[in-house]
Chains A and B, each alone.
Chain A
Amino acid sequence: MNIATVPPAPLDSEPVTEPSKEQLLEISMGPQHPSTHGVFRMKVVLDGERVVRLKPVFGYLHRNHEKIAESVTYLGSMPYTDRLDYMCSITNNWGYALAVEKLAGIEVPERAEYLRVICGELTRLQNHACLIGFLMQDMGSTGTPLMYAFREREKILDLFESLTGARMMCNYMRFGGCRVDLPAGWLDRAKKVIADFPRFLDEYERLLVSNEILMDRTQEVGVLSRELAVSAGISGPMARASGVDYDIRKVDHYSIYDRFTFRVPLGSHGDVYDRFMVRLLEMRESVGILQQATRAIPAGPIVDPKMKIRGFRPKPGEAYGRIESPKGELGFYLISDGSPNPYRYRVRPPSLINLTVLEDLCLGRNVADIVAILGSVDIVLGEVDR
């Protein structure tokens, strides 16, 4: 079967190939399918079980967040950023707050930075745990790893709820700091959750890492080379599993990450198993950062005292701010024209850019591998489609 003989898709048309001429089967995986990544559709052309062509279709959750942001104030967009990557609302808030702080030159006090790091790393823990759970469920382990992951996630969501008032849509960051300070006893509860987490990680590793079915289905599947990863703009654990040594926490030196010692796990094969292992190891590093941060958090204000939010009008100009979110590089590009609303508000979505190479990873594999590969890319449709 010569892949080059399949005609390329013409502009703006629906079918990918003419079914009467070739013995190929075109199926549509999605937009409603049992994988929990959301409303994502892939038009797959198959030769038997092997993938010949794969075209993703986006836009089923396009809620025009960027257009709405032009008609609300800067702070009014903060709850909308919660709903971008809805598993990790606090890191979305952080990326946006960082971009606005770059645009307007706002400083963040030290206690607020510590709070940001603690909440951000807790978010990373629950995101990676749930992702591994979803990946295992997509591959057919019907729920057990996902149940364990959600058990830990509930503990972390309880912490978020007592701090910010909401389980998922936390809306916690403000320009120049955080919205609200820690209630009494929160830090002790958080330390207990963090101290219990390595035991959960040990249990997870014992269950999954040497599992034969997992290794058979994920090793040498969906191999992403280092050069393609860099050229395609892949970021986050997916790039690091291919050997790209780029963690924005280490490169940009944003916030106070320079004060904490943590390692950046790198993979060497770039397959689904490596992406899974990188996330598992990153969880351990996050626990280390959390232990250091909760020990060293100082007293002080939680928001910049010079910052006035009423009538906040940054000077005309533009800024691009980015953070290492659990999915990859989350960036916000803001253009201000001196009015209370942004002139242009752009989200750089890691999930969408990481999907650039989906076709390359899936070509020549079986249909069952598509599910494993898609699960390892770690997408959330709220971010892909905005």
Chain B
Amino acid sequence: MNLEAIKSEIEANVPGCRLELVANPSPSGQHSLLLDGEHAVAVATYLRDAAGLRFDFCSNVTGIDWPGKEVSQTATARKIVDGLEQEVEEVGTTAIPGYLDVVYHLYSVEKKHGPLVLRMRTQDRHSGVHLPSLTPVWRSAELQEREVFDLFGVFFEGHPDLRRLLMWPGFVDHPMLKDYVDPDDYEYEPTAHDVVLRRVNQHRSEAGGR
């Protein structure tokens, strides 16, 4: 099952779609295809129905948080220092914006091949988090997309019933994001160590060092 061949087949049959191959450096060899939001449902429907592929079993839907980072670069520039033109190194930082990833693992029950890995990316992590839902194509995505909405905040358009799955309805945070701070109820720990010890000591120092 050659991913390049599948990619060209999809591009030939779903007009206008933009696919990108994302390589996977680990020994597992499971490379993935990055879909664009507009044509995702059409690509998914083609993958499910095409005679040679028949990916009718969506096994796993995962959300991933990639927070933004700042990368510093050094660049040399010619500048005038003390009346002489010299090469000076300047350090600049560029901010790479973060995004949320949704990964689909597909298998075929009819042809017994797989996995095919699809990815979709959001614009950013907080406000531009809309993605098309693939639940109309594969029913198994229904509960898993609800979980990605609950824990990461990705809003799936076209999902028949998008509610929180695991947390209670009044909860406002999205706990699996990397910058989530969990509520502070670490007042007492019988065998505290590492992170937990630091938080317990914070409580103790606030309470006057009992």
A and B from one assembly?
Answer: yes
Q: Are B28 and A103 in contact (CB-based, < 8 A)?
A: yes
A233 and B166 in contact, given A320-B115, A333-B105 (Cβ under 8 angstroms): no
Residues of B with C-beta under 8 A to A8 = 161
| Cβ contacts B119-134/A at 8 Å (1 or 0 each) | 0000000000000000
Q: A58 is contacted by which of B28, B56, B65, B166 (Cβ under 8 Å)?
A: B166
CA distance A13 to B163 in the complex (A): 9
By beta carbon, the residue of chain B nearest A332 is B60
Q: Are B139 and A231 in contact (CB-based, < 8 A)?
A: yes
Chain B interface main SS type: loop
Q: A356 is contacted by which of B26, B28, B142 (Cβ under 8 Å)?
A: B142
Asked if A352 lies at the interface with its beta carbon under 8 angstroms from chain B, I say yes
**B147-206 at interface with A (beta carbon < 8 Å):** 161-169, 175-176, 195
Q: Are B112 and A233 in contact (CB-based, < 8 A)?
A: no
Residues of B with C-beta under 8 A to A298 = none
A230 and B26 in contact, given A8-B161, A385-B166 (Cβ under 8 angstroms): no
CA distance A6 to B144 in the complex (A): 25
Q: Are A352 and B143 in contact (CB-based, < 8 A)?
A: yes
Asked if A31 lies at the interface with its beta carbon under 8 angstroms from chain B, I say no
Q: B139 is contacted by which of A12, A62, A228, A322 (Cβ under 8 Å)?
A: A228
Residues of A with C-beta under 8 A to B24 = 317-319
Asked if A146 lies at the interface with its beta carbon under 8 angstroms from chain B, I say no
CA distance A373 to B103 in the complex (A): 31
Asked if A14 lies at the interface with its beta carbon under 8 angstroms from chain B, I say yes
CA distance A38 to B24 in the complex (A): 39
Residues of B with C-beta under 8 A to A179 = none
Q: Are A233 and B27 in contact (CB-based, < 8 A)?
A: no
**A91-139 at interface with B (beta carbon < 8 Å):** 102-105
Asked if A331 lies at the interface with its beta carbon under 8 angstroms from chain B, I say yes
Identify which of A13, A233, A319, A320 gathers the most chain B CB atoms within 10 Å of its CB: A233
By beta carbon, the residue of chain B nearest A14 is B169
Q: Are B109 and A62 in contact (CB-based, < 8 A)?
A: no
Distance (Å) between the CB of B71 and the closest chain A CB?
15
CA distance A346 to B64 in the complex (A): 9
Asked if B46 lies at the interface with its beta carbon under 8 angstroms from chain A, I say no
CA distance A228 to B140 in the complex (A): 10
Q: Are B26 and A233 in contact (CB-based, < 8 A)?
A: no
A58-B165, A352-B143, A385-B166 known, 4 other contacts, Cβ within 8 Å = A235-B59, A319-B24, A320-B105, A356-B143
Q: Are A230 and B27 in contact (CB-based, < 8 A)?
A: no
Distance (Å) between the CB of B40 and the closest chain A CB?
17
CA distance A228 to B109 in the complex (A): 13
